[in-house]
Amino acid sequence: MGVFHTALIAIEKAVKIPLFGCRMCGQCILHSTGLVCPMNCPKNLRNGPCGGVLVDGHCEVKPEMRCVWVRAYEGSQRLPVWKDHLTHLQPPVDWRLQGTSSWANLASGRDRRVPAGWGAADGAGSSQEPGVRA
Amino acid sequence: MTRAAAPRSRLETILRAGRFAVTAEMQPSNGADPEEVRRYAAELRGKVDAANCTDNPAAHPHLSALAAGAFVAQAGVEPVVQLACRDRNRLALQADLLGAAALGARNVLLLTGDDVSAGDHPEAKPLFDIDSIHLLRIARGLRDEGTYLSGRALSSRPSFFIGAVENPFAPPHDFRPTRLAKKIEAGAEFIQTQLCFNFPRLVEFMKRCRELGLLERVFVLVSVYVARSARAMRYLRDVVPGIDVPDEILARLEKATPGRQAEEGFRLALETVGALRETPGVSGIHLISIKGQEAILRLIEAAGLLPRPEA
């Protein structure tokens, strides 16, 4: 990793950790999650809340914390754009990118590379209509 | 590419025929004796369309769901093998999906799972490599595309009826139908809900699902709990995350004398089943009871759900 990358990571951390509690997963989807970092979910959920959200909207694992996905849902409803992004299927996390700069990965397209069996980068990839089989 | 020679599951056949389905959660086994699993399965034989074999429920280890599923099938009951993302990464999950299919499982239920902090090994490393929606997509890929997540080809495909869970009763309530839509897009063909005590909330959820066109794409089985006491109900409300027990439901059990609470809990479950059968879009029920399956069996009988249809 060159000096440029090291500097980029330092800047990204300085900006995104205080603002969003960023975990530097290297494949940022903040704009799709109401500007709430999903990696703060103790279950690393990328596609919405688990079934264990407490009645008061707090996290079952860390009851002192409001559920990341309750906040993400509220946040997405407040955003003027990207509201519908919460409905997108987000691919599995590529753990190799942990600690790298999501900005660099965005620029290079590295963060959109998904396993061949996942399908297209922005969806589940559908070789057939999802859901009910004939 | 060969497809595993497997007929449609009994559960899928019954649901597609428009019959009201009955599934139950099987008592998990704490030992290595297959007789224990066979005994639980034998109790349910002919009384349910399928029995769920849970995967370390509430983050407590038990005899594995895969093994239980195989013994349940041998005992003449169709298993729904549950797999949670808590304890395995994507490699192990895919291996177990194939293993479950090879052991005769035609139904799988894929979920994220409770956190390890809910169980008796809170010091364990929680995996959560992928989430339930990823796992649904992977199961569909194995079955319909004949490939692993990596894209590598299988030598034969599993044949699954793919299930998921959803909790209409947990926040953010407005987002729950959308989350179900994502699960359907990923591969879910049926869901079993979290326990239903807040009936108006369920009706609201179903209404929204209908508006989104989800009920033509997924079968919804609603979970019903047979409470044995007010204490058990309070435990669910206060200790088990994601369960919404309205005050009036708890009050109803508390009003009964301790000797009558089991009967009141049973009556409550029976009323819920009756209401669910009248609720458009509800395709069946999933019955759960803790400590013993007798209450479930009694409920199925009292609700007039016997005999179960031929599939």
The sign one gets for the Cα dihedral B65, B148, B85, B88 is: positive
How many residues does this entry show for chain B? 311
pLDDT band at A25 (very low <50, low <70, confident <90, very high): very high
Residue-wise pLDDT tens digits, A74-88 = 999 999 988 889 999
Per-residue pLDDT, B257: 95
Beta bridge partners of B163: B109, B190
Please check whether residue B22 lies inside any domain of the structure: yes
Mutate to test the interface with A, among B185, B212, B243 (most CBs of A within 10 A): B185
pLDDT at A130 exceeding the cut of 90: no
Separation CA B84–CA B148 (nearest Å): 18
CA triple B222-B182-B161, angle to 5 deg:
55
Residue-wise pLDDT tens digits, A9-23 = 999 999 999 999 999
pLDDT in tens, chain B (311 residues): 455 556 799 999 999 999 999 999 999 999 999 999 999 999 999 999 999 999 999 999 999 999 999 999 999 999 999 999 999 999 999 999 999 999 999 999 999 999 999 999 999 999 999 999 999 999 999 999 999 999 999 999 999 999 999 999 999 999 999 999 999 999 999 999 999 999 999 999 999 999 999 999 999 999 999 999 999 999 999 999 999 999 999 999 999 999 999 999 999 999 999 999 999 999 999 999 988 899 999 999 999 999 999 88
How many domains does chain B divide into?
A: 1
Please check whether residue B77 lies inside any domain of the structure: yes
CB pairs under 8 A between A and B: 153
Residues 177-196 (B) with a CB less than 8 A from some CB of A = 178-179, 181-182, 184-189, 194
Instruction: Say if pTM beats, i.e. exceeds, 0.90.
Output: yes
- Domain extents for chain A? 1-27+97-110, 29-92
Separation CA B27–CA A129 (nearest Å): 36
Please check whether residue B93 lies inside any domain of the structure: yes
Q: Answer whether B41's CB lies under 8 Å from B75's CB.
A: yes
Please check whether residue B143 lies inside any domain of the structure: yes
Please check whether residue B291 lies inside any domain of the structure: no
Assign 3-class secondary structure to B62-95.
Answer: CCCHHHHHHHHHHCCCCEEEEEECCCCCHHHHHH
Please check whether residue B263 lies inside any domain of the structure: no
Residue of B nearest to A71 (CA): B172
Range of the domain at B79: 2-166
Separation CA A71–CA A79 (nearest Å): 12
Contacts of A131 in chain B (CB under 8 A): 184-185, 188-189, 217-218
Counting Cα atoms < 13 Å in the Cβ hemisphere of B258 gives 1
Please check whether residue B249 lies inside any domain of the structure: no
ipTM above 0.85, yes or no: yes
3-class secondary-structure state, position B173: helix
Please check whether residue B214 lies inside any domain of the structure: no
Residue of A nearest to B175 (CA): A73
